[in-house]
Amino acid sequence: MESPPKQHATSPKESLSWPVVAIAGLIVAIFYFVVKGFGPGQKQSPLVWLESAWNAETRMEHGFMVPLVSVGLIAWQWKKLREVASRADWRGLPVAILGVFFFILAHRTGQPRIAIGGLPFILWGSAWYLWGWQVARLTLFPMFIFLMAIPLPQIQLATTKLQLLSTELAQVGCSWFGVDIEIRGVKLYSTNSNWEPLEIDEGCGGIRSLMALILISSVWAYLAKMALWKKALLCFSAIPLAILGNMLRLTSIFVIAEYGDPDFARNSWHDWSGLLIFYPISLILLLMTHSLLEGGMPKLRKLRTRKTVVVSQSPAN
């Protein structure tokens, strides 16, 4: 009796026509790269507007990193995506249509943020429709993290509040090291007149570093193997950790100005303290938060588990 032929998993090439995908991708590229109606004078396409919006004024100089991270996460699990790809799933079609509706609405109103916000819906819904739910599940985060590339419309208000908070926290940090300062608005004065007044400007408020750390913590939480509520807690911990890291960075500037060279503190150290103080401290604190949620350092926990298994399997004396 002959055995039935083996069922092979449906590959992406078998589940759809790649020319159709290429044509659909070309249409999306034309709408987002070529079709104008946004930005100054409504002379920019959505993605051209987005690239121009990644500037110091919006505190989004790191915006170009977001699509790179998105593509990198998809490439990282490309092999698994090919394995789980299945037949078309019509449930993804309404999601893609919703994204198209966002684009049409944005074009009618001249709102580029709405157009950019619709792009992940179009791409994710299309992936769901063409390759099935398992592909959609794996690409959900990599697709929608692209929304973090959109500059916030009320960023100036958040910048001002963070600027005032940073000023107060800098005074607290300086008191730990015996540096007496006086606050006048967003300027800090040495009570001993050891250095010229230093101002906590918009950049020093930490909004730029906060946005970058939120991106890092989001990807970190996505890659971490832990419960969903722990992932959310790890992601949102970036907000207090960024504030704390910026407080220590500002404190170091005033301490150096008080006990060292004020000119060096105001210029060279101010420019480099973000890389030398903020990011190392913030990333260490993020690692500590991860370890606290997981009950220990991930690597050490694996080593302890391996040693426990070896000891339990060893023969008794």
Q: Are residues 185 and 144 part of one domain?
A: no
Same domain, 293 and 173: yes
Tokens representing 65 are 């990193």
DSSP result, 122-162: HHHHHHHHHH-HHHHHHHHHHHHGGGGGSPPTTHHHHHHHH
Domain limit, last residue, from 149, 180, 202: 149
Could you list the beta-strand ranges (E) of 166-228.
181-184, 187-190, 198-199
Query: Do the beta carbons of residue 67 and residue 149 sit within 8 Å?
Result: yes
Residue 312 lies in a domain: no
| Average predicted confidence (pLDDT) for the chain | 83
pTM for the complete prediction?
0.77
Amino acid 60: pLDDT? 84
Residue 72 pLDDT: 94
Question: Is pLDDT above 90 for 220?
Answer: yes
Distances (CA, A) of 169 to 166, 188, 191, 263, 315: 5, 11, 17, 22, 58
Q: CA-CA distance, 148 to 6, in Å (whole number)? A: 45
Q: Residue 47: its pLDDT value, please?
A: 93
Task: Answer whether 54's CB lies under 8 Å from 63's CB.
Answer: yes
Residue 250 confidence (pLDDT) above 50: yes
State whether 260 and 167 are in the same domain: yes
Q: How confident is the model at residue 118 (pLDDT cuts 50, 70, 90)?
A: very high
Which pLDDT value is given to residue 154? 66
Q: What is the pLDDT of residues 1-22, one digit of tens each?
A: 444 444 444 444 444 457 767 8
Lowest-pLDDT range, 119-133, 137-151, 253-267?
Answer: 253-267
Q: Which of 31, 106, 60 is nearest to 207 (CA)?
A: 60
Check whether residue 98 and residue 173 sit in a common domain.
Answer: no
Range of the domain at 273: 155-301
pLDDT (tens digit per residue) in 28-83: 898 899 999 898 888 899 999 999 999 877 778 888 999 999 999 999 999 999 89
Tell me the pLDDT tens digit for each residue of 269-289.
888 888 888 889 889 999 999
